[in-house]
Amino acid sequence: MSKQSAGLMMYRYRHQMLEVLLVHPGGPFWRNKDEGAWSIPKGEYEEGQDPFETARREFREETGYDANGNFIALAPLRQTSRKIIAAWAFEGNCDSEKIVSNLFTLEWPPKSGKHAQFPEVDRAAWFSIPTARQKILKGQLGFIDQLCRILCWHPAS
C-alpha cells in the first residue's frame, strides 16, 4: 500500500491578491534548496487514522498555529514516490515569522554516529500565487491550481 499524507493550505487575501502559506523543510538536506522545495504543512498517517485530523495536527506541529475556519477539500494528489497527499484549504492569517516547529533527530554528519535535532520546518512564508507556483514542490502544484479554480482566482488579473 502507498504511503499517505494529509495537510492544510492556508490562504489569505492581501492587497487584493491571493496568497498561500508554504513551509520550508528543516534539516541539512534542504538547507540550500529554495525553488521547488517548499510544501504545505503535512504529515503521514496510518490506515484507520482520520486524514483531516492528521492534517490539523500536522499544521499545529509544523507551525505552532491552530487551524480553524471553513475547510475546502482538495482532490488528493499522487506523488512520483506513489505517496498520496490529501489536502484541505482554509482562509486564515498568521505571522509566518513566528512559526514554531517540532523537532526530529537525524544522524549528522552521515555515518558519524552523532545525532542532532533539527526543526521539521525551518521557516514559513506567504507567497503570491505566481511565486508559490515556483516555490512549491512539483508534486503539490496541483493544490494551488485547485484552490485558484475553486476561488475563481486568476493570477494575471
Q: What is the pLDDT of residues 30-53, one digit of tens each?
A: 889 999 999 999 999 999 999 999
Flag whether 32 is in a domain.
yes
- N-term to C-term CA, the chain: 42
Q: What is the CA radius of gyration of the chain?
A: 16
User: Is a pLDDT exceeding 90 seen at residue 10?
Assistant: yes
Q: Which of 53, 58, 63, 52 is nearest to 88 (CA)?
A: 52
**Ranges assigned E (strand) in 3-145:** 4-14, 17-25, 42-45, 71-78, 84-91, 103-107, 115-119, 121-128
SS3 143: helix
Flag whether 156 is in a domain.
no
| pLDDT for residue 156 | 60
Flag whether 155 is in a domain.
no
Flag whether 42 is in a domain.
yes
| pLDDT for residue 1 | 67
Q: What CATH number does residue 90 fall under? A: 3.90.79.10
User: Residue 2: pLDDT band by 50, 70, 90 thresholds?
Assistant: confident
Flag whether 127 is in a domain.
yes
Flag whether 96 is in a domain.
yes
Indicate the length of the chain as a whole number: 157
| pLDDT for residue 157 | 46
Total number of domains in the chain:
1
State if pTM tops 0.85: yes
Residue appearing with cell numbers 495537510: 7
Q: Which domain holds residue 146?
A: 4-150
| pLDDT tens for each residue of 55-73 | 999 999 999 999 999 999 9
Flag whether 80 is in a domain.
yes
Sign of CA dihedral 137, 141, 55, 90: positive
Flag whether 157 is in a domain.
no
User: Is a pLDDT exceeding 80 seen at residue 155?
Assistant: no
